[in-house]
Amino acid sequence: MTDLTDLRLSYQKGELRRDRLNPDPHAQFQGWLEEALASDMPEPYAVTLATADDLGRPSARTVLLRGSEERGLVVYSNYHSHKGRDLSANPQAELLFYWPQLERQVRVYGRVERLDDAESTEYFHKRPRESQLAAHSSDPQSAPIASRAELEAKFAALEARFPEGQPVPKPEFWGGYLLTPAAWEFWQGRPNRMHDRFEYLPAAEGWRITRLMP
């Protein structure tokens, strides 16, 4: 057994005050995201995506944020993947950003819908060619495969099918998801576990901001 009971940090890097919060949660998020991107932490756009199936069984994994806009947050995936199947059965999810170097966390919950095919195709062709081929070769994503060699053989066959210089078409089973926020929560670590937490929920006009117990 590994005893972790004495391992902890006392967060010292900042505070979060109600009078300094942006009334628009997306603008508040953008400010924090830009600070994270300007820091030296690796992949601050990596985010935990939590979904649940039609029976309520939860599942979580790390994906990459590929869009932060007024309408919502965008990620991309294989529609046949575990998360894709979850979102088809239960189109709601939560994203969790954790930035330890800034001692900050952001949670955002909302309904999820697929992006239109044109938008997904535009992004697909911005990806490195190898990533485009991998999107094809890893289908059906999350399904069992006998060996690494079989996976690499699928990739090699696709390289031969779409040689260098020839466009790789976007697979029909791959595309973007848009999460439209229905709730945001911003967390700033503070000493002695007296953290600052604020929740944004929709109001008649704009958003209602509430401080939460840590």
Q: How many CB atoms lie within 10 A of CB 73?
A: 24
Beta strand pairing status for 174-188 and 104-114?
antiparallel
Torsion 91-22-24-36 (CA) sign: negative
The residue from 17, 193, 208, 211 that is catalytic is 193
Instruction: Report how far residue 134's alpha carbon sits from residue 156's, in angstroms, rounded to the nearest whole number.
Output: 10
For tokens 């053989």, name the residue. 153
Contacts of 20 (CB under 8 A, 6+ apart): none
Residue type, 121: T
Task: Please answer whether residues 65 and 47 qualify as being in contact, where contact means their C-beta atoms are separated by less than 8 angstroms.
Answer: yes
Q: Is 136 helix (H, G, I), strand (E, B) or coil?
A: helix
Tell me whether residue 57 is one of the annotated catalytic residues.
Answer: no
Measured in degrees and rounded to the nearest 5, phi and psi for residue 32 equal -70, -40
Secondary structure of residue 7 in the 3-state scheme: coil
- Active site members: 193
